[in-house]
Structure 1
């Protein structure tokens, strides 16, 4: 089973730092789980425009394949102007909705104000609902105050929330694999 951590931005370091910390916790506590990081900074992904998959660049196809083949996710985003960045929205647009169906998503966000955590509730959870994904009830929101000048996490509460989210997404994924949800349409 494969957990994919996604850092949904092409600027800044904090989103990737928090996602990597969640993945580190999963590796430490659950060595049976394959963990992979998808940092959007490492790819030149084209805009979604409806063309067939084979017409997109190698980077775009590689990202689509990584996301589509994962079993569950921890998705991270910075909050800019009270919303997710276009990079993450474009990624969601590129992925076929069935790729996320009945899979667990955990969310991580970071921003400059404490109120921006609401973007998880008002934007990310509805997107997951559209995809018919299962959302971990806990999520992690990090503020600039949680990091030191070297971008190291120094807030114990944040580290505890990271550890809890790591456990929760794994627990949900394993529970749903043992007792799969049967959808009647």
Structure 2
């Protein structure tokens, strides 16, 4: 059974007002409909008190932070969604990538969703998130979904083209997982020995 995990990086504090959360929920629903054996879960990072990265080993984090790390490690595939602020993804999402182990995403299919007020930062998906996931040796779907405010009405996603792209993304993560040979990861990264600083 494919465990598909969604990460919503929106810091929106208003209930049910996160366009990012609305989008990832729809993509996850499409994935589940495409293959009913898929197990889906969404972590809305805004709802969790995740510790800030402070350089310690990932296994040393505690509480909900450790629970999220373990869920990411246990996932077979991911959908990652973020608003675009100042041309980049959010700080709470970046913090997650800072605390997980280097091999937490290796060999896993990942689909990307971004939301923004306009189309100005469309290429941030290509220039910001895809290289980051490449560092983790994840298989990122070539096609991502970028959504602007005009695609919504009263917090409802109404653009049929965007809705269909979310369907393609959700289904695509499942399809890629079903066909991924783990031996196709390519060259491993350099071994980085973590040094413990003492005072």
Structures share a fold, TM > 0.5?
yes
Aligned to 1:163, which of 150, 163, 167?
167
Aligned to 2:103, which of 98, 101, 107?
98
| Deviation readout 1:129-171 (Å, 9 max, x if unpaired) | 111111101111110011112x110000100100111121111
- Is the 2:27–2:169 contact (alpha carbons within 8 Å) kept by the matching residues of 1? yes
Alignment match, 2:9: 8
Superposition TM-score, scaled by structure 2 size = 0.87
C-alpha distance in structure 1 between counterparts of 2:145 and 2:62, whole Å: 33
| Deviation readout 1:56-89 (Å, 9 max, x if unpaired) | 3411111111111111100000000111111011
Query: Unmatched 5+ residue regions in structure 2?
Result: 189-199
Write out aligned runs for 1:1-185 (5 A).
1-11=2-12, 13-53=18-58, 55-149=60-154, 151-176=155-180, 179-182=181-184, 183=186, 185=188
Q: Which has the larger radius of gyration?
A: 2
By how many angstroms is 1:180 displaced?
A: 2.9
C-alpha distance in structure 2 between counterparts of 1:131 and 1:55, whole Å: 20
Superposition TM-score, scaled by structure 1 size = 0.93
Q: Count the aligned residue pairs.
A: 182
C-alpha distance in structure 2 between counterparts of 1:53 and 1:108, whole Å: 26
SS at match of 1:99: coil
* 1:98–1:22 CA distance, 2 compared to 1 (3 A): same
- CA RMSD in angstroms, aligned pairs only: 1.4
| Deviation readout 1:95-138 (Å, 9 max, x if unpaired) | 11101111111100000111212110000000011111111011
C-alpha distance in structure 2 between counterparts of 1:23 and 1:107, whole Å: 12
C-alpha distance in structure 2 between counterparts of 1:158 and 1:22, whole Å: 10
Query: Unmatched 5+ residue regions in structure 1?
Result: none
